[in-house]
Amino acid sequence: MTTRLLVATHNRGKMREYAALLADLPIEVTWLDAEGIDAEVDETGVTFAENAVLKARAYAAMSGLLTWADDSGLEVDALDGRPGVYSARYGGPGLSDDARYRALLAEMAGVPDAQRTARFHCVVAIAQPGGAVVTADGTVKGTILHEARGSNGFGYDPVFFVAGYDASMAELPAEVKNRISHRARAAAGASELLAHLLPSTPVE
């Protein structure tokens, strides 16, 4: 019997990324919309790890499924690590992705290139319905561009220049992004942990 894994997101782009990253595991991946779950979990943690664990445990309890949740965001050195855990709410409620990254560019308008260093940071938490949780994290370093580049990806991808790739995150092909992104790196560690949580295949 195939284990079902709930990816705790309403974000179709994130769901697609994780489905691709987990394609080699013997699991059936589902997500909140497919399960008819519209409840929102308050992200009251002050770190990515705290928020990921909060969401994983809450949605595992609601669904009765093994649940994969993450919290991720952009940490900009010139802004003392902001927007950080508030990345999805930066600039105010109800803004589109474009509006958020434009607000970031506006705030950083006077910051010179040498001081535009940043990183994407992601923590993945996997919770069992009984409450036990494991976590893994990943980061990718880069700098904040002066203007958006590329049309792939979502969120702050168009304004994040990836160290060592001469491209914004939104200019990278999906196969490259799925290998080097903060979510990919956290997912790599988390998928190893997940493999240990799955039922063993009986030896004949």
Q: What is the CATH number of the domain that holds 155?
A: 3.90.950.10
Instruction: Supply the pLDDT for residue 1.
Output: 57
Instruction: Supply the pLDDT for residue 112.
Output: 97
Instruction: Supply the pLDDT for residue 199.
Output: 67
**Residue 203 within a domain:** no
**Residue 17 within a domain:** yes
CA distance 189 to 148: 30
Residue 202 pLDDT > 60: no
Average pLDDT, the chain: 90
Average pLDDT (96-100) is: 93
Q: Position of tokens 């370093």?
A: 141
**Residue 142 within a domain:** yes
**Residue 179 within a domain:** yes
Query: Do 21 and 187 meet the contact criterion of CB atoms below 8 Å apart?
Result: yes
Instruction: Supply the pLDDT for residue 201.
Output: 41
- Residues with a catalytic annotation lie at 71
Residue 204 pLDDT > 90: no
**Residue 106 within a domain:** yes
Instruction: Supply the pLDDT for residue 24.
Output: 84
Residue 108 pLDDT > 90: yes
The 8 Å CB, 24+ separation contacts for 60-63 are 60/6, 60/127, 60/128, 60/129, 60/131, 61/129, 61/131, 62/37, 63/6, 63/35, 63/37, 63/129
- If one counts the domains in the chain, the total is 1
**Residue 204 within a domain:** no
**Residue 202 within a domain:** no
Average pLDDT (114-129) is: 96
Q: pLDDT tier at 200 (50, 70, 90 boundaries)?
A: low
Q: What is the pTM of this model?
A: 0.84
CA distance 38 to 31: 11
Over residues 5-49, the pLDDT tens digits come to: 999 998 887 788 788 878 888 889 999 999 999 999 988 999 999
Q: Say how many CA atoms lie within 13 Å of 28 toward its Cβ.
A: 7
> Radius of gyration of the chain from Cα atoms?
17
> Phi and psi of 20, rounded to 5°?
-70, -40
Over residues 132-183, the pLDDT tens digits come to: 899 999 999 999 999 999 998 789 999 999 999 999 999 999 889 878 988 8
Domain range for 124 = 3-197
**Residue 177 within a domain:** yes
Over residues 58-96, the pLDDT tens digits come to: 999 999 999 999 999 999 999 999 999 999 889 998 899
Average pLDDT (90-104) is: 93
Residue 203 pLDDT > 90: no
Q: How far is CA 188 from CA 15, 62, 103, 178, in A?
A: 15, 26, 32, 10
